Amino acid sequence: SDEEIADAVKTIEKDVASIKTDAVIVSSDDKFYSPLVKSIAKEEGVSQTELDQISGSGKEGRVTKDDILDFVKNKGNKVTPPVVNAVTSAPAAKTQSAPVSLANGDEIIEMDRMRKIIAQNMLQAKQAAPHVTSFVEVDMTNIVLWRNKNKNEFLKKHGEKITFTPIFIEAVAKAIEDFPMINVSVDGDKIIKKKNINVGMAAALPSGNLIVPVIRNANQYNLAGLAKQVNDLANRARTNKLKPDEIQGGTYTITNIGTFGNILGTPIIPQPQVAILAVGAIVKKPAVIETPQGDMIAIRHKMYLSHAYDHRVVDGALGGMFVKRVAEYLEAFDMNTPI
């Protein structure tokens, strides 16, 4: 009957709601879980209830990487994690990989657990969000000349080196204020508009892996304040001294592919953010510039911005206008900016 069908639907919805709650691993006042522990729990299908029951061997009883790995090892058969969200967390359909042929002298290298987690996270990020990338070329001449002129005095005055990164972050924070719908997350069919502008900056570790420390409320710092934040987080990232909350809560991310000599890139959006900006290498190029006397060709410092965004919620107009606004802020940098 119709009543029986309605009751069955309500029962299913109730069951799904309970699964959705249990699937999300959260910390509490009594139990803190690091991002690594959460990632392992998600990969291995360890529920919140099971995680809460693990007796941690870390400081103040915290569950460590070894604790959860021991739990998984002793648990027996791996449990498939429940679907958290049909849009953002649906498991990928299994595909049959083509067999890999081995030749004499080829070396087989087993992925360590960290590489497996990174690989899975990257795969899930690409599956969750349809990526679109827009590219804009920026004239960085004023910024390059200003930095060359003032870097020694800046160090003397503030005790900090001035790199290009805080200048990039300042421009991005301003552009986010102009286009706040870039600073959002997706939860099913809901868009969560973030109040704070927390900019993550990808930093390379000695191991070759990347970590993304977060500058919270980046729009509230001046250039000197951003330089201090950038240098401090980058230095502690390289020495594995970041606190767990310093790599969480980002709402937008910047990655510097120019460090490796690359000029363009198509970065992967870190979930649950909806956009990421890759800044390329700054190179000298001949360019046409407009002067009162007419167009002229001059040597300029140029750089490409690669802006990848989630096309579910960021249309081409918004994604393109945003990265163009970042470029405009960079090109409008005042040569007389005080240090």
Please report, for the domain that includes residue 295, its CATH number. 3.30.559.10
What average pLDDT score do residues 246-251 get?
A: 95
Same domain, 255 and 161: yes
Q: Containing H/E element for 25?
A: none
First CA to last CA distance, the chain: 76
Same domain, 141 and 261: yes
Across 59-68, 85-94, 119-128, 258-267, which has the greatest mean pLDDT?
Answer: 258-267
Same domain, 137 and 63: no
Q: Is residue 99 part of a domain?
A: no
Same domain, 40 and 187: no
- Spot the catalytic one: 66, 295, 315, 334: 315
pLDDT at 100 over 80: yes
Same domain, 136 and 232: yes
Binned at pLDDT 50, 70 and 90, residue 131 comes out as: very high
**Beta strand spans in the chain (E):** 131-139, 184-187, 190-193, 199-201, 203-204, 210-211, 214-215, 252-256, 275-279, 283-291, 294-310
Same domain, 186 and 47: no
Q: Is residue 175 part of a domain?
A: yes
- State which of 35, 55, 75 marks the end of a domain: 75
pLDDT at 228 over 50: yes
Same domain, 148 and 12: no
Q: Which of 95, 93, 46 is nearest to 70 (CA)?
A: 46
- State which of 33, 49, 75 marks the end of a domain: 75
Contacts of residue 250, Cβ cutoff 8 Å, sequence gap at least 6: 198, 199, 200, 212, 214, 270, 273
Query: Structural domain of residue 60, as residue ranges?
Result: 2-75
Q: CA 201, CA 179: separation in Å to the nearest integer?
A: 20
pLDDT at 21 over 80: no
CA 257, chain centre distance (Å): 14
The reported pTM is 0.70
Q: Containing H/E element for 99?
A: none
- State which of 32, 47, 75 marks the end of a domain: 75
pLDDT of residue 253: 98
Is 36:42 a contact under the CB 8 Å cutoff?
A: no
13 or 91, greater pLDDT: 13
pLDDT of residue 121: 87
Q: Is residue 294 part of a domain?
A: yes
Same domain, 219 and 297: yes
Assess whether the previous peptide bond of 272 is cis (omega < 30° from 0): yes
Across 13-22, 80-89, 324-333, which has the greatest mean pLDDT?
Answer: 324-333
Q: Is residue 80 part of a domain?
A: no
Q: Is residue 177 part of a domain?
A: yes
pLDDT of residue 164: 97
Count of structural domains within the chain: 2
pLDDT at 92 over 50: no
Q: Is residue 327 part of a domain?
A: yes
pLDDT at 213 over 70: yes
Specify the residue for token string 């592919």.
257
pLDDT of residue 7: 59
Binned at pLDDT 50, 70 and 90, residue 63 comes out as: confident
- Provide the mean pLDDT of the chain: 85
Same domain, 212 and 308: yes
Is 268:131 a contact under the CB 8 Å cutoff?
A: yes
- Spot the catalytic one: 2, 52, 311, 334: 311
pLDDT of residue 2: 52
Same domain, 163 and 306: yes
Binned at pLDDT 50, 70 and 90, residue 86 comes out as: very low
Q: Is residue 110 part of a domain?
A: no
Same domain, 143 and 71: no
pLDDT at 75 over 80: no
Residues in a beta bridge with 53: none
Same domain, 70 and 150: no
Q: CA 204, CA 181: separation in Å to the nearest integer?
A: 29
Q: Is residue 185 part of a domain?
A: yes
Q: Which of 33, 78, 83, 39 is nearest to 58 (CA)?
A: 33
Backbone torsions φ then ψ of 337, nearest 5 degrees: -55, 125
Can 139 be counted among the known catalytic residues? Answer: no
pLDDT at 85 over 60: no
Which CATH number characterizes residue 68's domain?
Answer: 4.10.320.10
pLDDT at 6 over 90: no
